[in-house]
Chain A
Amino acid sequence: MIDTKILDAAVSDLRNILRDGLVATDIWDRTAGLSLAGYNQQPVAVALFTRITQELESSLVDSSFPPLARYYLLDMEGNHTAVVVNHGTLLQGMLVDNKRANLGILIAVAIPRMLESVARAKLR
């Protein structure tokens, strides 16, 4: 069981941290592809990053590389950065405007807080 109220609070906290630097976010179950919480939710992005993450994880295993740990980042055209956070059974995508959000705060503050919050939601 996952406490979606904690997930909603975590999304609200993320918006508070990144402010207008956060364009969109989703937290979804990686097997069902079902979004459990989010802001400006993007179902297409959920499907896309589920597939990319599966490909990435299997490629790392096949290449005898260390497995994916907490997150990966994509630097995209138009000053956008996509972050995919690995919560285990859940995945989270964030689309960030990197002209408005600080990368240091994203990595050192926002992602660790999200990891803690989602772990708390999964404990319920």
Chain B
Amino acid sequence: MMGRSVSWTEPEKLAALLASVAPPRPAALVPLVPAMGAMRAAGGARARTAAVTPPAPAPPAPKKVTPRLVQTSDNPSDRLDALVGWTLDHQPCTGAFVADDNGLTLAAHGISEAHVALVGPLLSALVAVRAIPGIDASRGALWLGTNMMSWVETRTERGGFCLGAVGREALSIEALDELRDALDTTVRGL
């Protein structure tokens, strides 16, 4: 008479039989190559993560440092030429000039004397503007028709001097500050 066969209804006995004939199983299988599905799932997760996480801000572009103008000559012509050269080298412009407050050209490159001469009426017109409290009006920009002329003005005991730069766009406030410093440095020795 045969004993009762092992059946699905007796799982404990089945497990005991299997354990007696089979080698012990490793605690966990570590696949050397992940399944493609797993890869897709992981990739999707990464993609979702990337879509949700805001992009890291790009490192700020290094700030352009404009070297200060250093005047090495006592000669007015050399000082003015150095100022115009420095402006052309370090500011986004195609022409530069120095004029007195009557619009007389002291030094210029890349701009006609006729254009420089408009400094005279321009600065005269600004006298009334400066009478308004709180308005400085010692720097600005003027659309010439094809180019923008940016200028700064400084005053000395001998009158006013104007440094202008002509280019496609008006210069920034920082650039105008640099021009003003350079103009002050130059005309102090005139």
Contact = CB atoms under 8 A, between A and B. Distances in A.
B100 A108 contact: yes
B77 interface: yes
Interface string A102-113: 111101111010
Interface in B63-80: 75-77, 80
A102 B113 CA distance: 12
Given A108-B161, A109-B190, A112-B158, A103 B104 contact: yes
Nearest to B77: A105
A104 B75 contact: no
Interface string A8-52: 000000001101000000000000000000000000000000000
A17 B76 contact: yes
Contacts, number: 39
Contacts of B102: 107-108
B99 interface: yes
Interface string A84-124: 00000000000000000011110111101000000000000
Interface residues of B, number: 15
Nearest to B103: A104
Among A17, A19, A104, the one with the most B-chain Cβ atoms within 10 Å of its Cβ is A104
Given A102-B105, A102-B107, A107 B100 contact: yes
Interface string A51-65: 000000000000000
B75 A16 contact: yes
Contacts of B190: 108-109
Interface of A: 16-17, 19, 102-105, 107-110, 112
Given A103-B104, A105-B80, A112-B159, 15 more contacts: A17-B75, A17-B76, A17-B77, A19-B77, A102-B77, A102-B105, A104-B106, A105-B77, A107-B100, A107-B104, A108-B104, A108-B159, A108-B190, A109-B76, A109-B158
Interface of B: 75-77, 80, 99-100, 102, 104-107, 158-159, 161, 190
